[in-house]
């Protein structure tokens, strides 16, 4: 009997305590809305969440790696499919990257040259050469009487004159299209009916200026299907040898002035001017032509 009474008493205490706690929980409390205890507690423990998000991260990493691998394989397959089965790779490579400058190791070259040269400037040169890989041996010939241009301007500024030249050259290819140049040039300017008329005297004479120039330079040459294009970028003069010849028809300086010093000085000044002009360096001589 005492054990039974004790158990009943304990049950009444538990039930009464439960009702009391329920009343307290159901009692309205405005301040509880802003308290920390008002927020619900986590349903899952923290270790379970860490495990869950780590699995999601690894899944994303695996998907990204799979996409990158499939993209690389697809690019490789597409590049293989883009190749033309009817195209000869060896022939295409030969066209895009030729092993030689021209199809033949030897060829004859014919062209017209024009550029910054005291003779060629008024008389374009005819260029004849022979290509023998890796060398080009050639000759340039110019004459204002045969191939002269600017005829009116030449007569207005120079009077009765003739400009001619001859150049022997050798070109050595040190690269695919670039070459070194060694040349020997013979230049000639003939000036007729030069006068020096003053109150102290008069004179009429001809002046012939000739020079020989040795030069070194560099340039660029490219062959096409049947033609070629070259440009001598610069020809730097090293050795110069010139002569001046004067042919007098008459002079009255000796009779009227008693001496011809003024006439001689005028001839000397003119000679130096023409020597300086005819010995000018050559640059940017462009040649167009054909080869066979």
pLDDT at residue 6 in the model: 47
Q: How would residue 224 be classed by pLDDT, with cut points 50, 70 and 90?
A: confident
Q: What are phi and psi of 231, to 5 degrees?
A: -145, 120
pLDDT at residue 40 in the model: 45
Residue 106, strand partner residues: 132
> In CATH, what number does 106-291 get?
2.40.160
Query: Looking at 49-53, 241-245, 260-264, which range is the least confident one?
Result: 49-53
> Which DSSP string do the residues of 207-271 spell out, in sequence order?
EEEEEEEEEEEEEEEEE-SSEEEEEEEEEEEEEEEEEEEEEEEEE-HHHHTS--HHHHHHHHHHH
pLDDT over 50 at 164, yes or no:
yes
Question: What is the C-alpha to C-alpha distance for residues 289 and 230, in angstroms, rounded to an integer?
Answer: 9
Tens-digit pLDDT profile for residues 90-140: 555 555 555 466 677 889 999 999 999 989 988 899 999 999 989 999 999
Tell me what the mean pLDDT of segment 190-214 comes to. Answer: 95
pLDDT over 80 at 62, yes or no:
no
Tell me what the mean pLDDT of segment 59-78 comes to. Answer: 54
Give me 116's structure tokens. 């910054």
Give me 250's structure tokens. 């008459």
pLDDT over 70 at 148, yes or no:
yes
Q: How would residue 153 be classed by pLDDT, with cut points 50, 70 and 90?
A: confident
- Per-domain residue ranges of the chain: 106-291
Tens-digit pLDDT profile for residues 18-58: 444 445 544 555 444 444 444 444 444 444 444 444 555 55
């Amino acid at each position: 009997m005492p054990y039974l009474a004790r158990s009943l008493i304990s049950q009444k205490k538990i039930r009464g305590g439960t009702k009391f706690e329920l009343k307290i929980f159901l009692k309205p409390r405005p301040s509880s809305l802003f308290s920390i205890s008002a927020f619900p507690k986590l349903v899952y423990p923290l270790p379970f969440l860490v495990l869950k998000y780590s699995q999601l991260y690894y899944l994303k990493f695996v998907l990204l790696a799979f996409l990158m691998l499939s993209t690389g394989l697809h690019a490789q397959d597409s590049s293989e499919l883009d190749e033309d089965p009817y195209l000869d790779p060896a022939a295409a490579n030969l066209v895009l990257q030729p092993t030689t400058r021209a199809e033949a190791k030897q060829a004859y070259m014919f062209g017209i040259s024009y550029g910054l040269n005291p003779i060629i400037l008024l008389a374009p040169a005819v260029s004849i050469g022979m290509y023998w890989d890796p060398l080009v041996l050639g000759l340039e010939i110019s004459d204002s009487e045969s191939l002269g241009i600017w005829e009116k301007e030449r007569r207005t500024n120079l009077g009765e004159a003739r400009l001619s030249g001859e150049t022997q050259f050798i070109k050595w290819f040190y690269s695919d299209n670039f070459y070194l140049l060694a040349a020997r040039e013979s230049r000639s300017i003939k000036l007729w009916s030069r006068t020096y008329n003053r109150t102290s005297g008069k004179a009429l004479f001809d002046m012939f200026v000739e020079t020989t120039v040795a030069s070194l330079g560099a340039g660029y040459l490219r062959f096409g299907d049947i033609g070629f294009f070259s440009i001598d970028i610069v020809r730097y003069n090293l050795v110069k040898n010139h002569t001046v010849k004067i042919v007098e028809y008459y002079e009255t300086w000796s009779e009227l002035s008693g001496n011809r010093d003024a006439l001689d000085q005028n001839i000397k000044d003119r000679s130096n001017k023409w020597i300086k002009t005819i010995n000018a360096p050559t640059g940017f001589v462009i040649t167009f032509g054909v080869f066979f």
